[in-house]
Amino acid sequence: MDWAARIPDLRRADELAANVFADIATRLTAGLPGGATVVDVGAGTGGMSAALAATLGRRGGGCLLLVDAVPELLAEAARTATAVGADGVKIETVEANLAAGNLSELVPPAQLIWAASVMHHLPDQQGGIASVAGALSGGGVLAVAEGGLETQTLPWDLGVGRPGLEHRLLAARDEWFGEMRAGIEGTIAMPYGWTTALRRAGLTDVGSFSHLLDHPAPTTDIVREFVLQRIAHLAEDARERLTEEDRGTVERLLQPGAGEYLGDRDDLYVLGTKTVHFGRKS
């Protein structure tokens, strides 16, 4: 996947999730000592990086290390986090691939490590959890954001094509994801949930919580743009698994000037969850 090309879409998603990120960052940092070291693994375009920087700044400062394998994303995350202007927060970047399993050699022992939507890209997800947990200090917390309820954005009946298009797009994307996982060289199945994975990595006080991502209709410009890009990406991933009718429907929905164009609708929305699984190093 060309992550650098998707930076505008990722930034838009970060903006929609800004309040959720702020709430999660506040909760995760509540028990940290002063001057804590926090690591954002798979920092992306820096939505959560900014929330962590702001929270650390309100707590008197600390060190925030941003880790990503894509240099363009890492630079964007650094810009986003630095723009917060958090006093007393030192922000550094580390270009690294988690699949190498050497995070503990690249960052100092951390009181908190945040890893969002990155573990499922690794051949060995359980090994990835164990490797990242190894970079924690004693008493440090690993928070993994994976799974949760799938985001919904469209009315069930769009007035064109067969109703339920978004559900079929998501089902087709799930099939694509399964094939993608199976096609990763050296992939190892993880037939259990993320809290079990955290416990198997030796962490304690394991648990989960979720925050609601809710931008209801009537829509706004940023929601409209987000939905257009989301449906385009879903259709791209699932194209070979869609019926000819659904492919035609998507084309009409994404065609400016067409009577069915999503960009002219006022009933689009964004509803989903951000689910966080966490555990503590003894």
Write out pLDDT tens, residues 124-174. Answer: 999 999 999 999 999 999 999 998 899 999 999 999 999 999 999 999 999
pLDDT above 90 for 3: no
What does the pLDDT average to over 264-273?
97
Mean of the per-residue pLDDT values for the chain? 96
Residue-wise DSSP of 188-208: B---S-HHHHHHHTT-EEEEE
Listed in sequence order, the residues at least 6 apart from 129 whose beta carbon sits closer than 8 Å to its beta carbon are 119, 142, 144, 194, 197, 198, 200, 201
200-247 per-position pLDDT tens digit = 999 999 999 999 999 999 999 999 999 999 999 999 988 899 999 999
Alpha helices in 90-152 (DSSP H): 103-106, 125-133
pLDDT tens by residue, 70-102: 999 999 999 999 999 999 999 999 999 999 999
**What's the average model confidence in pLDDT over 271-277?**
97
- Per DSSP bridges, beta strands 110-116 and 37-41 are parallel
